[in-house]
Amino acid sequence: MALTTRQTIIDAIYALLIANQGAGTVYAMTGGRIYDTLAADDPTLPFVVFTVVDDQLQQYFSVDSIQMDFQVDVYGPRDTSIGGPKACRVIGDAAMALLHRSAITISGANGCSILCQSGTQGLDMDYVAGGSTQLDAYRDTRVYRLFGTGT
């Protein structure tokens, strides 16, 4: 039995985040600016960065289970309460509606699902978004736990 790789799981999370691109989706509200771990150089706000924060290998007899925590950070302008906090919350809520209690298809795993664990929001000063880019941005962060069983 081969273990499901971290990259396979990350690819599945990304695929889920970009699968729906219609009005009101995370993809549409960010113009498709959804990044794995680091944003592109000089990104346009708003954008999303998702990052693995804990990747535990759960071994139960001969089947390995997946329990991975990842966070989704929504960054937006801090110019006004509508432009920053509200916009970030709306995108964060759309991500939560998409991810919380959802099933996810991961190659090499069965019964995978996602639950939201926590969330916070606040101002990020001089956030290094990628390369040498520095932005003052408002951030909405939510942490999710992904569960599954290896095949």
Q: What is the CATH number of the domain that holds 146?
A: 3.30.2000.10
pLDDT on residue 80: 65
Q: Is residue 139 part of a domain?
A: yes
Predicted TM-score (pTM) of this structure: 0.85
Distances (CA, A) of 137 to 21, 60, 66, 80: 24, 43, 33, 11
- The residue segments making up the domain with residue 136 are 6-150
Which pLDDT score, from 0 to 100, does residue 1 have? 46
Asked if residue 47 is part of any domain, the answer here is yes
Q: Based on the structure, what is the number of domains in the chain? A: 1
Q: Given this model, what pLDDT does residue 3 score?
A: 62
Distance, in Å, from the CA atom of 145 to the CA atom of 114, rounded to the nearest integer, reads 6
Question: Which residue is listed with tokens 């209690």?
Answer: 101
Query: Tens-digit pLDDT profile for the chain (151 aa)?
Result: 456 788 888 999 999 999 999 999 999 999 999 999 988 877 888 999 999 988 665 555 455 678 889 999 998 887 766 667 888 889 999 999 999 999 999 888 888 999 999 987 666 655 555 555 666 778 889 999 998 887 6
Residue 85's pLDDT is what? 80
Q: DSSP label at 33?
A: -
Residue 28 three-state SS: helix
Q: What are phi and psi of 97, to 5 degrees?
A: -60, -35
Whether 1 maps to a domain, the answer reads no
| Residue among 12, 21, 129 at smallest CA distance from 73 | 129
10 Å CB burial of residue 21 (0-12, 13-18, 19+) is exposed
Q: What is residue 98's predicted lDDT score, i.e. its pLDDT? A: 95
